[in-house]
């Protein structure tokens, strides 16, 4: 979790931007919710390229004190520092790239105190086209980073090309699975030219730069289970707060990124943010899905397309149900409505628990489940407005305290979940009885996000044992 400048600032980067953003991340309580990485994307270099020793150099007008001073500043504030390069002769914005300079550049990153490298794929000199060619090109940097002795997270950014989901895990910590996100929920665009449903789409000449939230969700569906702790599918940075989507669309976008275990990099300007954006990105009950210690993504158990679903303004009409197991035995369930009108959605326990056995054979179907709505305790606008408007950091931290704000630096999510911290569990809104069906009305272009919690019934048995003696992960 962290922040990256690209979605809102593009090439307009500077020391001032990074340090004023990091201060604001602290005072708004976001660092302590887990947004720990501050990532400087493309365009940080001087235009003249490498120096006479072959080393990359920051642009002195953007970074007058160099990069080590930024990383020291960020570390002092409790952040980790991320930077960017490309496995090509140039970066995507045409600054010097790291291809065939991996050792030099890894050493520079390590000497600047970098904790994470986002590693792009522009201008790859044709070294693409099979998984092995791409794997080798990226592995060179992975090895060079390792050889520095500094622990540097590696985030591959080759937009899903050459089946990165099949080899990214061996050499990196996360890999982008699609072209760049843009600030739209469903709008198709020629600049996102692949078929989202066909991972090996031979006509995908351009993963592109205009991929909608729905496109990315459909793209990841077949490979959602590839994410495990230490190696994650990356759905790209967040657009929450940028202005192109509605509040419900941003909530849905954020919820799916969290439950699908994508890295959560905020992409908006933290220093001028609408209250509604703050109350989305600071919902600890949703963040607890992202940070769940089990570290497995929800997967899609149902997708309805067509079937008389009302179409939205782009001709899109579909709805999904996603579900997944959480460490404490709870089940995350998301109803996504990407159609043109509000829908009554429903899903049986048999379908929700398909991963444990299809056709209703999962033992989970035999239990009653309490249904918790994870958006029920969203921070109210007035509190968020007051936090954003507070004159000093002290005032702000008093307001956060008053709002009983969650602090993951003090209490990591794993501990909060184990101790049943109510801030991580939303609100109980009902029960689905054994063999029953979960139902909800879901607005157009919105998601409902639930945590199902098993209700232990007195005297109930499972495989002959009293239910209280069955470990949750036996279920
Ligand atoms: C793209 C990448 C973006 C951003 C940009 C910088 O290839 O997907 O996230 O890093 O390059 O030029």
152-166 pLDDT, tens digit each: 999 999 999 999 999
Mean pLDDT of the chain: 95
- With beta carbons less than 8 A apart as the criterion, state whether 43 and 93 touch: yes
% residues pLDDT > 70 (the chain): 96
How many Å lie between the centroid of ligand 1 and the Cα of residue 249? 23
Assess whether pLDDT exceeds 60 at residue 469. no
Assess whether pLDDT exceeds 80 at residue 471. no
Q: Give the torsion sign (CA, 86, 87, 91, 97).
A: positive
Q: Report pLDDT for 102.
A: 98
H/E element, 440: strand 437-442
Assess whether pLDDT exceeds 90 at residue 474. no
Q: Report pLDDT for 460.
A: 61
Range of weakest confidence among 254-268, 406-420, 441-455, 460-474: 460-474
Assess whether pLDDT exceeds 60 at residue 452. yes
Q: Report pLDDT for 193.
A: 87
d(C-alpha 49, C-alpha 450), whole Å:
50
H/E element, 251: helix 247-259
Q: Report pLDDT for 10.
A: 98
The predicted model scores a pTM of 0.96
Give residues with Cβ within 8 angstroms of 16, minimum separation 6: none
Give residues with Cβ within 8 angstroms of 192, minimum separation 6: 178, 179, 182, 206, 207, 208, 209, 210, 211, 212, 215
d(C-alpha 374, C-alpha 11), whole Å:
36
Assess whether pLDDT exceeds 60 at residue 416. yes
CB distance 234 to ligand 1 below 6 Å = no
Strands 331-338 and 318-325: antiparallel
Write out pLDDT tens, residues 231-246.
Answer: 999 999 999 999 999 9
**Which residue's CA lies nearest to atom 6 of ligand 1?**
42
Assess whether pLDDT exceeds 60 at residue 472. no
Residues 463, 468, 474: CA angle, nearest 5 degrees: 50
Q: Report pLDDT for 307.
A: 79
Indicate which atom in ligand 1 lies nearest the CA of residue 209.
8
d(C-alpha 455, C-alpha 473), whole Å:
15
Choose the residue to mutate in 157, 159, 266 for probing ligand 1, maximizing ligand atoms within 8 Å of C-beta.
Answer: 157
Indicate which atom in ligand 1 lies nearest the CA of residue 179.
8
Q: Report pLDDT for 374.
A: 98
CB distance 330 to ligand 1 below 6 Å = no
Contacts of range 307-310, beta carbons closer than 8 Å, 24 or more positions apart: 309/339, 309/340, 309/343, 310/339, 310/340, 310/341, 310/444
* Dihedral class, residue 147 (left if φ above 0, else alpha if ψ from -120 to 50, else beta): alpha
Q: What is the mean predicted confidence (pLDDT) over 98-118?
A: 98
| Ranges assigned E (strand) in 34-79 | 37-39
Nearest to 338 by CA among 214, 195, 183: 214
Write out pLDDT tens, residues 347-389.
Answer: 999 999 999 999 999 999 999 999 999 999 999 999 999 999 9
Active site residues: 120, 180
Q: Report pLDDT for 116.
A: 98
| Ranges assigned E (strand) in 28-115 | 37-39, 80-86
d(C-alpha 342, C-alpha 390), whole Å:
38
Q: pLDDT tier at 17 (50, 70, 90 boundaries)?
A: very high
Other CB atoms within a 10 A radius of the CB of residue 456 amount to: 12
d(C-alpha 2, C-alpha 259), whole Å:
16
CB distance 42 to ligand 1 below 6 Å = yes
CB distance 144 to ligand 1 below 6 Å = no
Q: pLDDT tier at 465 (50, 70, 90 boundaries)?
A: low
Q: Report pLDDT for 198.
A: 85
Q: What is the mean predicted confidence (pLDDT) over 424-450?
A: 98
Q: Report pLDDT for 454.
A: 96
CB distance 110 to ligand 1 below 6 Å = no
| Ranges assigned E (strand) in 66-199 | 80-86, 116-120, 153-157, 174-176
d(C-alpha 131, C-alpha 320), whole Å:
31
Write out pLDDT tens, residues 380-396.
Answer: 999 999 999 999 989 99
Q: Report pLDDT for 463.
A: 62
Under DSSP, is residue 215 helix (H, G, I), strand (E, B) or coil? helix
- With beta carbons less than 8 A apart as the criterion, state whether 254 and 213 touch: no
Q: Report pLDDT for 251.
A: 98
Q: What is the mean predicted confidence (pLDDT) over 330-344?
A: 98
Q: Report pLDDT for 243.
A: 97
% residues pLDDT > 90 (the chain): 91
Write out pLDDT tens, residues 53-89.
Answer: 999 999 999 999 999 999 999 999 999 999 999 999 9
H/E element, 71: helix 66-76
Range of weakest confidence among 6-10, 237-241, 396-400: 396-400
**Of residues 469 and 443, which shows the higher confidence score?**
443
- With beta carbons less than 8 A apart as the criterion, state whether 114 and 145 touch: no
Q: pLDDT tier at 201 (50, 70, 90 boundaries)?
A: confident
- With beta carbons less than 8 A apart as the criterion, state whether 259 and 334 touch: yes
What are the phi and psi torsion angles at 444 (to 5°)? -60, 140
Structure tokens at 255: 């919820």
């Amino acid at each position: 979790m962290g922040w990256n400048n690209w979605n809102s600032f593009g090439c307009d980067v500077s020391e001032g931007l990074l340090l004023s953003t990091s201060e604001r991340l602290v005072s708004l309580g976001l660092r302590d919710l887990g947004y720990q990485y501050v990532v400087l994307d493309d365009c940080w270099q001087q235009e003249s390229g490498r120096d006479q020793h072959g080393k990359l150099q920051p642009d002195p007008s953007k970074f007058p004190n160099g990069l080590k001073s930024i990383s020291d500043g960020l570390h002092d504030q409790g952040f980790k520092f991320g930077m960017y390069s490309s496995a090509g002769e140039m970066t995507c914005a045409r600054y010097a790239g790291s291809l065939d300079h991996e050792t030099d550049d890894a050493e520079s990153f390590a000497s600047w105190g970098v904790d994470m490298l986002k590693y792009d794929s522009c201008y790859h000199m044709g070294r693409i086209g099979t998984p092995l060619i791409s794997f080798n090109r990226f592995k060179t940097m992975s090895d060079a980073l390792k050889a520095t002795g500094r622990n540097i997270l590696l985030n591959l950014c080759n937009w899903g090309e050459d089946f990165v989901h099949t080899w990214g895990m061996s050499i990196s910590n996360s890999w982008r699975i699609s072209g760049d996100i843009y600030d739209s929920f469903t709008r198709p665009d020629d600049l996102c030219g692949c078929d989202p449903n066909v991972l090996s789409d031979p006509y995908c000449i351009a993963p592109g730069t205009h991929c909608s939230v729905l496109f990315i969700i459909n793209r990841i569906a077949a490979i959602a289970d590839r994410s495990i702790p230490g190696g994650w599918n990356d759905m790209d940075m967040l657009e929450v707060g940028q202005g192109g989507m509605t509040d419900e669309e941003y909530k849905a976008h954020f919820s799916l990124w969290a439950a699908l275990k994508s890295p959560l990099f905020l992409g908006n300007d933290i220093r001028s943010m609408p209250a509604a954006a703050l109350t989305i990105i600071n919902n600890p009950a949703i963040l607890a899905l992202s940070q769940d210690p089990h570290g497995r993504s929800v997967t899609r158990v149902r997708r309805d397309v067509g079937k008389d679903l009302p179409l939205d303004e782009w001709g899109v009409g579909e709805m999904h149900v996603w579900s997944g197991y959480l460490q404490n035995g709870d089940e995350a369930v998301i109803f996504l409505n990407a159609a043109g009108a509000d829908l009554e959605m429903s899903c049986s326990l048999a379908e929700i628990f398909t991963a444990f056995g299809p056709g209703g054979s999962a033992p989970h179907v035999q239990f009653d489940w309490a249904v918790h709505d994870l958006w029920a305790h969203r921070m109210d606008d007035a509190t968020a407005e007051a936090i954003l408007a507070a004159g000093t950091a002290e005032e702000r931290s008093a307001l956060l305290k008053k709002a009983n704000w969650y602090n993951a630096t003090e209490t990591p999510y794993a501990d909060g979940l184990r101790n049943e911290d109510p801030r991580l569990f939303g609100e109980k809104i009902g029960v689905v009885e054994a063999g029953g069906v979960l139902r909800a009305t879901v607005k157009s272009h919105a998601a409902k996000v639930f945590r199902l919690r098993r209700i232990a019934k007195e005297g109930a048995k499972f495989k002959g044992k009293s239910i209280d003696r069955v470990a949750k992960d036996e279920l």
